[in-house]
């Protein structure tokens, strides 16, 4: 693990973050060519295997391109991973809050960006421009303070919940808009969301179907509709197998670090509270669980089975054993958000809403 802005990252994730930051800061914009693989390995103090894995991720995100016999280059700005279509350019504003991690580390935004790059519509090219607001500032407050010019944008995507007064301000702009995720508003709004109920049900059901009888749940218990849906899906899976919910085994943790999960699980082991399987919500709780099970030499999955909900593929890339995970398809979410934005623009009375099913990926922990 390597320290990066107060976070502990695997070398693979660390190199991705450093490369994203250096690209974003314009480090190689003079000629657009990155240093050789050997030089990059020296700069970031990693092996060539780790570097190449990180470069593959950035190539997937269309940040770089690798030319045989020539080297690695920055891609020209734009959303398409291939040649752009010769049609009208749609400028879309992506509203987000300042992420809890540095933007180059936060996997949610990297997945959204990848989806925007993948989406195709004949005769139209999309240019998605992010605007991140400070965490304590509302959208309406930002607009009153800055008086932004919305005339150059064709649509707005909201990657964080707005309150009612924010929505009023947004609708006065007269632009089509779509929420990414449930905004928890009283009135219906255009949105594309992940089916969190189904995702938690899939993860819990996989544990119980493989022989689990006494599960532990590590989750971050915010009061959003998505978090409530997750608990409901978990309880539905327990009910299917005749297991009663037990609040002592449903443990709220911070999803930004692994340390809190580790402390709680160490206490559970010390008190000898019985369990045979664990469902962890989020990457960092999952890493905390794996760290503790490894320290106590508990065999996975023979002695303890593990499933993860809301796992980002690149964040868990270097973890062994590789976890069984239910992945939220944020790439598809971003693609569908642009699709719904276009549909709403064609019919201002339309309130399109789409729920995407998460994907269960079997690993070595169940």
Rounded Cα–Cα distance for residues 261 and 255 (Å): 9
Domain covering 196-327, topology: Rossmann fold (3.40.50)
Among 169-173, 277-281, 361-365, name the one with the lowest average pLDDT.
Answer: 169-173
Rounded Cα–Cα distance for residues 145 and 124 (Å): 33
Q: Please identify which residue in the block is written with the tokens 């085994």.
A: 249
Q: Please identify which residue in the block is written with the tokens 């390597």.
A: 2
CB 255 within 8 A of CB 101: no
CB 212 within 8 A of CB 277: yes
Q: In the prediction, which pLDDT does 339 show?
A: 94
Domain 2-74 of CATH type 1.10.10.10: yes
pLDDT at residue 80 is higher than 60:
no
Rounded Cα–Cα distance for residues 108 and 355 (Å): 17
Among 6-15, 121-130, 200-209, name the one with the lowest average pLDDT.
Answer: 6-15
* % of the chain surpassing 90 pLDDT: 44
Q: Which of 81, 70, 72 is nearest to 115 (CA)?
A: 81
- Give the mean model confidence (pLDDT) for residues 109-125: 82
Q: In the prediction, which pLDDT does 140 show?
A: 83
Q: Please identify which residue in the block is written with the tokens 């779509």.
A: 178
CATH architecture assignment, domain 88-193+331-357: 3-Layer(aba) Sandwich (3.40)
pLDDT grade for 169, boundaries at 50, 70 and 90: confident
pLDDT at residue 81 is higher than 70:
no
- Give the mean model confidence (pLDDT) for residues 1-19: 77
Q: In the prediction, which pLDDT does 305 show?
A: 97
Rounded Cα–Cα distance for residues 251 and 248 (Å): 7
| 316 vs 118, more confident | 118
CA atoms within 13 A on the CB side of 338: 28
pLDDT at residue 82 is higher than 60:
no
Q: Which long-range contacts (CB under 8 A, 24 or more apart) does 9-12 make?
A: 9/105, 10/317, 10/318, 10/319, 11/46, 11/50, 11/318, 12/50, 12/53, 12/54, 12/314, 12/317, 12/318
Q: In the prediction, which pLDDT does 85 show?
A: 46
CA angle 158, 160, 162 (to 5 degrees): 85
What are the residue ranges spanned by the domains of the chain? 2-74, 88-193+331-357, 196-327
Q: In the prediction, which pLDDT does 174 show?
A: 87
Q: In the prediction, which pLDDT does 103 show?
A: 61
Rounded Cα–Cα distance for residues 205 and 234 (Å): 8
* % of the chain surpassing 70 pLDDT: 89
Q: In the prediction, which pLDDT does 251 show?
A: 95
pLDDT at residue 105 is higher than 70:
no
Q: In the prediction, which pLDDT does 98 show?
A: 67
| 130 vs 134, more confident | 130
What is the model's pTM? 0.81
Q: In the prediction, which pLDDT does 314 show?
A: 57
Q: Do domains 2-74 and 196-327 have the same CATH topology?
A: no
| 135 vs 323, more confident | 323
Cα-Cα-Cα-Cα dihedral sign, residues 9, 13, 19, 23: negative
- Give the mean model confidence (pLDDT) for residues 330-336: 92
Rounded Cα–Cα distance for residues 106 and 315 (Å): 10
Q: Output the average pLDDT for the chain.
A: 86
- Give the mean model confidence (pLDDT) for residues 72-85: 57
- Give the mean model confidence (pLDDT) for residues 298-313: 90
- Give the mean model confidence (pLDDT) for residues 163-184: 87
Q: In the prediction, which pLDDT does 36 show?
A: 93
Residues 270-305: pLDDT tens digits? Answer: 999 999 999 999 888 998 999 999 999 999 999 999
Residues 210-240: pLDDT tens digits? Answer: 999 999 999 987 767 788 899 999 999 999 9
């Amino acid at each position: 693990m390597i320290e990066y802005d107060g976070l502990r990252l695997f070398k693979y994730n660390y190199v991705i973050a450093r490369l994203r930051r250096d690209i974003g800061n314009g480090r190689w914009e003079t000629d657009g060519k990155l240093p050789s693989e050997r030089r990059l390995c020296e700069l970031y103090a990693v092996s060539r295997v780790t570097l190449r894995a990180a470069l593959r991720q950035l190539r997937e995100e269309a940040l770089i391109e690798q030319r045989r016999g020539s080297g690695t280059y920055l891609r020209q700005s734009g959303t398409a991973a291939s040649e752009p279509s010769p049609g009208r350019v749609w400028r879309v504003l992506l509203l987000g809050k300042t992420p809890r991690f540095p933007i180059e580390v936060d996997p949610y935004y990297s997945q959204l960006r990848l989806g925007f790059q993948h989406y195709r519509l004949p005769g139209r090219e999309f240019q998605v421009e992010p605007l991140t607001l400070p965490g304590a500032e509302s959208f309406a407050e930002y607009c009153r303070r800055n008086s932004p010019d919305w005339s150059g944008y064709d649509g707005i995507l909201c990657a964080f919940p707005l309150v009612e007064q924010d929505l009023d301000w947004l609708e006065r702009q007269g632009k089509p808009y779509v929420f990414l995720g449930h905004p928890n508003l009283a009135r219906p709004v255009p949105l594309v969301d992940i089916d969190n109920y189904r995702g938690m049900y899939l993860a819990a059901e996989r544990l119980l179907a493989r022989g689990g009888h006494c599960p532990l749940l590590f989750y971050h218990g915010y009061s959003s509709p998505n978090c409530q849906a997750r608990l409901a899906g978990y309880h539905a899976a327990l009910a299917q197998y005749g297991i009663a919910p037990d609040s002592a085994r449903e443990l709220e943790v911070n999803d930004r670090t692994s340390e809190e999960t580790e402390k709680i699980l160490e206490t559970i082991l010390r008190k000898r509270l019985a369990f045979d399987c664990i469902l962890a919500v989020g990457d960092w709780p999952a890493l905390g669980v794996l760290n503790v099970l490894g320290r106590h030499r508990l065999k996975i999955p023979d002695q303890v089975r593990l499933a993860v909900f809301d796992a980002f593929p690149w964040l868990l890339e270097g973890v062994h054993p590789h976890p069984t995970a239910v992945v939220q398809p944020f790439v598809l979410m971003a693609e569908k958000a642009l699709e719904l934005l276009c549909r709403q623009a064609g019919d201002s009375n339309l309130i399109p809403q789409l729920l995407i099913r998460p994907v269960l990926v079997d690993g070595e922990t169940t």
